[in-house]
Amino acid sequence: MTIQYIDEIKELAGKRIFLRVDFNVPLDEGGNITDDTRIRAVLPTINYALDCNAKIIVASHLGRPKGEVNAKYSMAPAAKRLSRLLDKEVNLAPDCIGDEVAAMVAAMKPGDVIMLENLRFYPGEEKNDPAFAQALANLCDVYVNDAFAVSHRAHASVEAITRHVPVVSAGFLMKNEMTFFDRAMQNPVHPLVAILGGAKVSGKIEVIDNLLNKVDKIIVGGGMAFTFLKALGYEIGKSIVEDSLLETALNAYNKAREKGIKFYLPVDCVVADRFDPAAEIKITPIQEIPREWMALDIGPATVTLFSQVLQDAKTIIWNGPMGVFEMDAFSRGTFAMVSAVANSYALTIVGGGDTDVAIHRAGEFAKISYISTGGGAFLELLEGKTLPGIKVLEENGKPLFSTNGGNQ
Ligand code: AMP
């Protein structure tokens, strides 16, 4: 089944579009947006809808207000920023459902943009409540989901609403996510190499399991490597480890070998005498981690090895940093891998909040083919799951308006 995208809908002029976005932007203590990437990411969809003379109702959640109105989580900063980026007025509704909002929508003219107040001010949003979904659906003629990062959640504005709107589709951000994911995991050009890192194996077991059915090589770095290394009999000192997953890790490692998948682990590491930016550090082979020390980054030999593994890759998929890159002393391994991935001759797809941060800090984002906007959603796709928000777009992506006429 395929998803219908906004540019396949004819006659958008004058139509009320409910555009579900992810404007869950980070704010500082003063309520200022510290990173507006998520807002910029949906500008192509909004601009397209504006070009079509539609009426655009932007809807999002922000933070975790837990079903109650809380001024701290108002969409006001996002509305203001969107207004600046579009260079046009974006009025913030006082609520996301109810008479006042309905009146505001009724007064909209083609080409107007309004933003609803935080969807999570209502418990019905996270409960996927049909009545709440119906109330949202009443505001619009067309539903457009461009919130990939929340499509793994069966929430009212993502899932249930699609059963109450006559036209259901997705935006260009979603289209990019789906297209690149397909190119990486469904129809990849081989060799396909997966790089996994981050603190823990738990939460990534299903990802590893699924990847072992797809990839040619797998690289495991970061804290999670030490559960594998311990399972293989190495002394890992005080490095992060999940003892309950030693057997699982060993099974995954053996499964890879049985399938002929090359499995790469660090061969050296940066060890520290404590978890502290000012800790004493040294580089040791993996066989020589001192008992009282902990490994917090991959070492230079590992960077060389991992970079070599990427040489013939045609597709690379990456989630998770190679070390505690938040501290300068343990950031080199991750940054070196950013550079190796960025300079490879492969289609490169990166997902997960931390990896994204590392790539931006390294200034290499322009050289990555695609950086997913979804953390949890991206991981669930890697696990091979069908996301509830995507499933309904496929099932309920019906019917489009008549195929006659254009969008002008
Ligand atoms: P995750 O959320 O599982 O992707 O983990 C990301 C976190 O893993 C980052 O905050 C890193 O600091 C942390 N991390 C990476 N390598 C290590 C390591 N060797 N020891 C402890 N934490 C690590």
Q: Tell me the CATH number at 268.
A: 3.40.50.1260
Give 226 Cα–ligand 1 centroid separation in angstroms: 11
- Phi, psi angles (nearest 5°) of residue 179: -65, -50
Q: Which atom of ligand 1 is nearest to the CA of 226?
A: 19
Nearest CA to ligand 1 atom 18: 223
Is residue 259 domain-shared with residue 133, that is, in the same domain? no
Residue 262 lies in a domain: yes
Q: Which atom of ligand 1 is nearest to the CA of 221?
A: 16
| Residue 389 a catalytic site member | no
Is residue 221 domain-shared with residue 367, that is, in the same domain? yes
What total number of domains does the chain contain? 2
What is the model's pLDDT at position 400? 52
Vertex 130: Cα angle to 387 and 24 (nearest 5): 55
What is the model's pLDDT at position 352? 79
Q: Is the CB of 321 under 6 A from ligand 1?
A: yes
Whether 58 contacts 88, CB under 8 Å: no
| Residue 30 a catalytic site member | no
Nearest CA to ligand 1 atom 17: 223
Is residue 218 domain-shared with residue 328, that is, in the same domain? yes
For residue 236, give its domain range.
178-382
What is the model's pLDDT at position 65? 97
Give 221 Cα–ligand 1 centroid separation in angstroms: 10
Residue 407 lies in a domain: no
Is residue 109 domain-shared with residue 213, that is, in the same domain? no
What is the model's pLDDT at position 397? 72
What is the model's pLDDT at position 323? 97
Nearest CA to ligand 1 atom 22: 199
| Residue 200 a catalytic site member | yes
Is residue 182 domain-shared with residue 311, that is, in the same domain? yes
Is residue 153 domain-shared with residue 272, that is, in the same domain? no
Q: Is the CB of 354 under 6 A from ligand 1?
A: yes
Whether 396 contacts 162, CB under 8 Å: yes
The preferred substitution site among 195, 224, 240 for testing ligand 1, maximizing ligand atoms within 8 Å of CB, is 240
What is the model's pLDDT at position 406? 42
Nearest CA to ligand 1 atom 4: 198
Is residue 257 domain-shared with residue 201, that is, in the same domain? yes
Q: Which atom of ligand 1 is nearest to the CA of 203?
A: 3
Residue 92 lies in a domain: yes
Q: What is the 3-state secondary structure (H, E, C) of 86-141?
A: HCCCEEECCCCCCHHHHHHHHCCCCCCEEECCCHHHCHHHHCCCHHHHHHHHCCCC
Q: Is the CB of 183 under 6 A from ligand 1?
A: no
Euclidean distance between CA atoms 44 and 24, whole angstroms: 18
- Nearest to 195, CA basis, from 296, 97, 307: 307
Residue 128 lies in a domain: yes
Whether 123 contacts 156, CB under 8 Å: no
- Show the low-confidence residues of the chain (pLDDT under 50): 402-408
What is the secondary structure of 178-239 as a DSSP string? HHHHIIIIISPPSSEEEEE-SS-STT-HHHHHHHTTT-SEEEE-STTHHHHHHHTT---TT-
Select which of 80, 200, 262, 361 is catalytic.
Answer: 200
Residue 402 lies in a domain: no
